[in-house]
Amino acid sequence: MKPHQLQPMIEGMLEAIILVDPIQLRILTANRTAHQLLKVEPGSLIGKGIVEIVAAPEDLFFWEDVAGGLSENIYSETLLQCSDKSIVQVERRVSLVKVGMDTSFYVVAIRDHSSQRKIENELEKLIAELRGTLESTADGILVTNLDGGIRSYNHLFSELWGLPDELMTQRDDGAIYAWMDKCMIDADRYTERLGTIGRSPLMEATDILVLRSGKILERVTLPQFARGRPIGRVYSYRDITQKLADEARLQLAAKVFESSTDAIFITDHEQKIITINPSFEKLTSYTEKEMRGKTPRAFFATESNVDLIDQLLHKLEINGSWEGELWNRRKNGHAYLCMITLVKLQDDHGKTINYIGFFKDRTETHAAKQKIEELAFSDALTGLPNRLLLAERIHQAITHASRKDGTFALLFLDLDHFKQINDSLGHPFGDRVLLEVTERLKRCIRQVDTASRLGGDEFVLLLHEADADGAEVCAQRVLEELTAPITLDGMNFTVTSSIGIALYPADGITMDDLIKNADSAMYHVKERGRSDFRFYQRQMNIGLLSRMKLDHAMRQALEKNLFRMHYQPQFDLHTGKIFGVEALIRWNDKDLGEVSPVQFIPIAEESGVIVQIGHWVMQTAIRQAALWNQQGHTLKMGFNVSGLQFQQSNFVELVAAELEANNLSPDCIDLELTESVLIKDIDENLKKLNALAKLGVKLSIDDFGTGYSSLSYLKRFPIHKLKIDRSFVEDLPEDESNAAIVTAIIHLAHALKLQVIAEGVETEQQRSFLSALKCDELQGYLFAPAMSVEEFERHFLQDAHNLACHLRVSS
């Protein structure tokens, strides 16, 4: 059953229904409700990728799970993007439905859930904001209504008053107030003061509370308003016990003042220095007489850090202390880094009486730390930031961009064919090339940007606050810089780069996602010719998962012997007889249905599993050829050999072993190799081809004319046949260019005393044209498609005489 046959059924459903192809994840069909929900014209969804209608970035991972086959039935909530760019929140269920033996698709059922979720989200947001406000404050908070009824409080309030757990869970106002009365040393005065505050709704007050536990709390009371009218009160409590103890600690500090190794100064309430200790004089070379009357601001401030000094003094006033590092100068002008602690001391009434400063020389420690950081965060060869420092700067960029709703870009660079430089000229020479590349990359970015080396020939550029246009300009600049020749040891050469680009936040909100997606985009540049750049697209990861899913399914098919072999007959145009067949692999997966070789063979070649598949094809084809020959049917068996399979060091031995195991004459098989396979490592390939020819195996060039055709290898290699690719045959004889190419190939083959076969012959006009050119052999749908063993034997081997006559008549 085809998806369009289900259209009447899904149109009768109230929910939005979308049917999705399980391999490509593209929409096969959808009902009217789905089109209305997404605000698009009827039928306009068909053919679109399912990820094109999603609005939530995390939904990409959902479809990655679906593409990866992690579940056959998934329920979730998500966001969809309508044609007018509006967002709708929905409930969704995805189910894998199998129809018949070879058809399956995903059914996506969608229900609009936006209104309900909007109300829920607003309520949750309001509650979360209120709770977050209460818990984030540094004070204990108690909120009451005008009658004193407790409306809310935070955990710090309960900690300051030591509230038992049972009081926190019971929410008994009277019990809580009773507990607070019991904690007070002067409970009567405390109660009287609360009464005064309660009778004055607009009153603002500050009180000091002394508890039996020894804590001293500062209470600030403020009225709470709504629409201009008081509705309650907010009480904030702060523990000031430690602050009041500062004066006692100052007395203790005086005892160690003279003997301390830290440089110490003490000021009056106006921040004028009144005394220093001996360590201060030793470190700075200033005497107490010279320092008396100066302020910390005058002592530490320089032209470059005046604003910083003002800020830290302001924080000192607010927080009562400050700690940090500052560069300062000795009396002789020598700079040193000092670690400073400043403390403000107050009396019992909160009045400032003194300031104390402690500092020590940290110059040597700072230099050692810088050296360690340089070693830890820099690439040893290029001096560029390494992965660790890059991660830190990306996190900073994410924090900065998230606060300002900004963006930035990551460029992932990989040098093209750099391995060849290391292999041919050595790693020391390759390191010099990397240093030259590093200098060129530095010229391509701004001072605020970061160039980093991840290792090997991989680099990452972090472009601060860059958008897509800025990233494109930088990528173009990098490509231009690297295009200029590199001259080393009198040798001129060019190193190009493939660049993938990911943008924050569109392509990821974490460092790992951004680097992964930029790497994925770079990989697509490699696939499409190198020396270019490409922006990341969501479909890339889904396509990668689809390839991974197919790769896994192919390996399972090999283990469980699920591949099938079909055979397409080949005819001698002169005699009209079948002289051989081409073995063609077929695969029907239980989940994916019938998978075309056009889909799975490129992925098999990419992953390397093509070697095992090719060996299975060779075993199966030779075994079948031997069986037919034993039955008296002399047929040549042709099958394709992939580049990876042919490059195996023991390939010739494997062919010989299979022929011997099946007692088949070598001249009964025809190995079809593409031109691109033959021109790689020509000398090594020539040895293999001569060994196969010596063994007696026939060799053909498949898809001739589509690759790197060269008369030189046709002359050198022991080839006996050329196969004209179907792309040249399909428009014959109307297409003048294809007609000229086919004519040239046939004349060339005959001039070199080679046989020539045309594939993909589907019309009588094509057959007549090829016959007139004296093409030797034909195969194609005009005569027969590829068939199973049983079909082939039933149609041809049982009555080969009739077939031969039929072909001669057609001729």
Q: CATH number, domain at 778?
A: 3.20.20.450
Both 312 and 452 in a single domain? no
pLDDT band at 612 (very low <50, low <70, confident <90, very high): very high
Residue at 420 is within a domain: yes
Return d(Cα 393, Cα 776) in angstroms, integer. 67
Helix (H, G, I), strand (E, B) or coil at 494: coil
- For 753: left if phi > 0, alpha if psi spans -120 to 50, otherwise beta; the answer is left
pLDDT band at 544 (very low <50, low <70, confident <90, very high): low
**Closest by alpha carbon to 677, among 652, 702, 649?**
702
Which residues, 6+ apart, have CB-to-CB distance to 643 below 8 Å?
Answer: 605, 674, 676, 677, 680
For residue range 504-522, list pLDDT tens digits in order.
Answer: 998 999 999 999 999 989 9
Residue at 327 is within a domain: yes
Cα of first residue to Cα of last residue in the chain, in angstroms, is 40
CA dihedral sign of residues 636, 640, 646, 650? negative
pLDDT band at 396 (very low <50, low <70, confident <90, very high): very high
Return d(Cα 131, Cα 125) in angstroms, integer. 10
Which residues, 6+ apart, have CB-to-CB distance to 698 below 8 Å?
Answer: 636, 667, 669, 670, 671, 720, 721
Mean pLDDT of all residues in 716-732: 90
For residue range 361-379, list pLDDT tens digits in order.
Answer: 887 776 666 666 666 678 8
Return d(Cα 370, Cα 376) in angstroms, integer. 10
Both 290 and 423 in a single domain? no
pLDDT band at 803 (very low <50, low <70, confident <90, very high): very low
Both 392 and 480 in a single domain? yes
Both 608 and 712 in a single domain? yes
Mean pLDDT of the chain: 85
How distant, in Å, are the alpha carbons of 74, 86, 125 from that of 116? 21, 17, 14
Identify the DSSP state of 485.
P
Both 407 and 464 in a single domain? yes
pLDDT for 121 beyond 60: yes
For residue range 728-770, list pLDDT tens digits in order.
Answer: 999 899 999 899 999 999 999 999 899 999 999 999 999 999 9
Both 275 and 192 in a single domain? no
Q: How far from chain centre, in Å, is Cα 597?
A: 29
CA torsion, points 243, 245, 246, 250, in degrees to nearest 10? 180
- Give residue 802's pLDDT: 44
Both 155 and 91 in a single domain? no
Q: What is the largest CA-CA distance in the chain?
A: 125
Residue at 244 is within a domain: no
Both 394 and 475 in a single domain? yes
pLDDT for 669 beyond 90: yes
Q: Give the chain's domain count.
A: 5
Return d(Cα 242, Cα 209) in angstroms, integer. 14
Residue at 549 is within a domain: no
Residue at 98 is within a domain: yes
Half-sphere exposure in the Cβ direction for 652 (13 Å, CA): 17
Return d(Cα 347, Cα 460) in angstroms, integer. 57
Return d(Cα 297, Cα 288) in angstroms, integer. 17
Instruction: Indicate the residue among 113, 148, 166 that finishes a domain.
Output: 113
Both 472 and 522 in a single domain? yes
pLDDT band at 583 (very low <50, low <70, confident <90, very high): very high
CB neighbourhood size of 493 (10 A): 11
- Give residue 335's pLDDT: 83
Identify the DSSP state of 49.
B
For 498-510, the three-class secondary structure string (H helix, E strand, C coil) is: EEEEEEECCCCCC
Asked if 235 contacts 142 with a C-beta cutoff of 8 angstroms, the reply is yes
Percentage of residues in the chain having pLDDT higher than 90:
32
Return d(Cα 11, Cα 6) in angstroms, integer. 9
Return d(Cα 329, Cα 299) in angstroms, integer. 9
Strand segments (E) across 293-407: 321-329, 335-346, 352-361
pLDDT for 692 beyond 90: yes
For residue range 257-277, list pLDDT tens digits in order.
Answer: 777 778 888 899 888 998 888
Residue-number span of the structural domain to which 398 is assigned = 378-538
Q: What is the pTM of this model?
A: 0.47
**Closest by alpha carbon to 356, among 340, 375, 342, 373?**
342
For residue range 407-463, list pLDDT tens digits in order.
Answer: 999 999 999 888 888 878 888 999 999 999 999 999 999 999 999 998 889 999 999
Instruction: Give one DSSP letter per residue of 495-557, joined into a string.
Output: --EEEEEEEETTT-SSHHHHHHHHHHHHHHHHHTTSS-EEE--HHHHHHHHHHHHHHHHHHHH
Mean pLDDT of all residues in 292-315: 84
pLDDT for 497 beyond 70: yes
- Give residue 708's pLDDT: 54
639 pairs with which residues across the strands? 671
φ, ψ of residue 110 in degrees (nearest 5) = -130, 135
Percentage of residues in the chain having pLDDT higher than 70:
91
- Give residue 809's pLDDT: 34
pLDDT band at 540 (very low <50, low <70, confident <90, very high): low
Least confident of 53-62, 77-86, 536-545: 536-545
Both 276 and 390 in a single domain? no
Both 327 and 387 in a single domain? no
φ, ψ of residue 660 in degrees (nearest 5) = -70, -40
CA dihedral sign of residues 185, 186, 190, 193? negative
CA dihedral sign of residues 722, 725, 730, 733? negative
How distant, in Å, are the alpha carbons of 39, 83, 241, 616 from that of 86? 9, 7, 56, 53
For residue range 613-625, list pLDDT tens digits in order.
Answer: 999 999 999 999 9
Both 354 and 441 in a single domain? no
Least confident of 174-188, 192-206, 300-314: 300-314
How distant, in Å, are the alpha carbons of 70, 123, 474, 541 from that of 61? 11, 28, 29, 9
Residue at 372 is within a domain: no
What would the two tokens of residue 753 be? 């005393």
- Give residue 626's pLDDT: 96
Residue at 653 is within a domain: yes
Residue at 26 is within a domain: yes
Instruction: Indicate the residue among 319, 347, 367 that finishes a domain.
Output: 367
CATH number, domain of 18, equals 3.30.450.20
Strand segments (E) across 316-471: 321-329, 335-346, 352-361, 408-415, 450-455, 458-463
Mean pLDDT of all residues in 599-604: 86
pLDDT for 119 beyond 80: no
CATH number, domain of 460, equals 3.30.70.270
Q: What angle do CA 556, 562, 563 make, to 5 degrees?
A: 110
- Give residue 757's pLDDT: 95
Instruction: Indicate the residue among 504, 538, 572 that finishes a domain.
Output: 538
- Give residue 373's pLDDT: 64
